[in-house]
A = this chain, B = another copy of it.
Amino acid sequence: MQALQSLKLLIGTPIAENLLEKKHALHVYNRTAAKAQPLANKGAVVCTSVKEVANLCDIVFSIVADDAALNHIVQGDEGIAANLKAGGIHICMSTILPATATHLSSLHQQYNNHYTAAPVMGRPDAARARKLNFLVSGNASIIEIVKPFLQDAGATGIWEFGDNEAAAHVAKLCSNFLIISAIEALAEGINLAKKSGIDAQQWMNVLTKTIFSAPVYINYGNILLKEAYQPANFSLRLGLKDVNLVMEQAAETNAPMMFGKALQERLQQCVANGLGEYDWTAIALALKEKSVV
């Protein structure tokens, strides 16, 4: 079996390495050829186009930054849908608008091949540790074929959301919204604790050992206490992209989102002030007096 690995996101490389470790024959493509080179050194065949990958492979993984990039590699004569063989499977790991998945899935159907939604939860270190979680939806029999490949790609959990290709993407957007909400709340709480002169580290100890004993609060609490906003594990710019998708889905479904709207504006402000390539926890910098924001 073979797979396309676009390396646009930092998480792409460790996923591809996981597949290589499990002895899969891997064909890879990235717009920037140099980014694929380290994988070639580990046994991957570097292709020069999406079309070439789709022609050569039975299963194609994709992970790209946004809906436009995904549409670009899937649609048209040079795209994955037109060039993947009948019965082939496209596993889409990106965080995208659910409507985009619905559209691309029907495009794949026209070519008698398959779109499987498998957006991935986890930062690059989780990929390296094989502790990724995939949210999956689409044709049930195709998902059974896909599961062992997700395991080899680094899954610790595969969570099914039924046969609607859009469903897993909705779940992913809701999850990212909950994470960035937790980051903002943590940032405001830590800032209030510090400004009030109490031991913010001890406050985080209490919470993460009691009612907030979850990885999100432990990991992001630690980053926020240390103000370690670089290097980015997940950039603020991509965080804004995801919140924009959340708000587009909210508008589509008539779901009011008070926090969502506030976060969208705050992240826009942060990007406008030059924080786009910082980690998305840098949203906390907006709380600083005389800060860039």
Contact = CB atoms under 8 A, between A and B. Distances in A.
Contact of A186 (B178, B199, B202, B254): B178
Nearest to A265: B258
Contact of A135 (B164, B166, B206, B209): B206
Nearest to A253: B195
A256 B161 contact: no
A205 B157 CA distance: 12
* Copy count, this protein chain: 2
A184 to B, nearest CB: 6
Nearest to A177: B189
Contact of A188 (B207, B210, B259): B259
A211 B206 contact: no
A214 B178 CA distance: 13
A6 to B, nearest CB: 25
Given A121-B211, A179-B211, A181-B185, A164 B256 contact: no
A107 interface: no
Interface of A: 98, 121, 133, 135, 157, 159-162, 164, 166-167, 170-171, 173-175, 177-179, 181-182, 184-186, 188-193, 195-199, 202-203, 205-207, 209-217, 246, 249-250, 253-260, 262, 266, 286-287, 289
B196 A249 contact: yes
A192 B177 CA distance: 10
Contact of A175 (B206, B258, B289): B206
22 contacts: A121-B211, A157-B209, A159-B202, A159-B205, A161-B198, A167-B198, A170-B198, A171-B193, A174-B190, A177-B192, A181-B181, A181-B189, A184-B258, A191-B256, A192-B246, A192-B250, A195-B254, A195-B255, A213-B214, A213-B215, A256-B287, A262-B262
Contacts of A196: 98, 166-167, 170, 249, 253, 255
Contacts of A287: 255-256
B181 A260 contact: no
B157 A174 contact: no
Q: Which of A162, A184, A195, A254 is packed against the most chain B CB atoms within 10 Å? A: A195
A217 B212 CA distance: 8
Contacts of A159: 202, 205-206
Contacts of A262: 258-259, 262
Contact of A255 (B166, B191, B206): B191
Nearest to A200: B174
A213 to B, nearest CB: 5
A154 to B, nearest CB: 14
Contacts of A246: 192
B211 A216 contact: yes
Contacts of A170: 192-193, 196-198
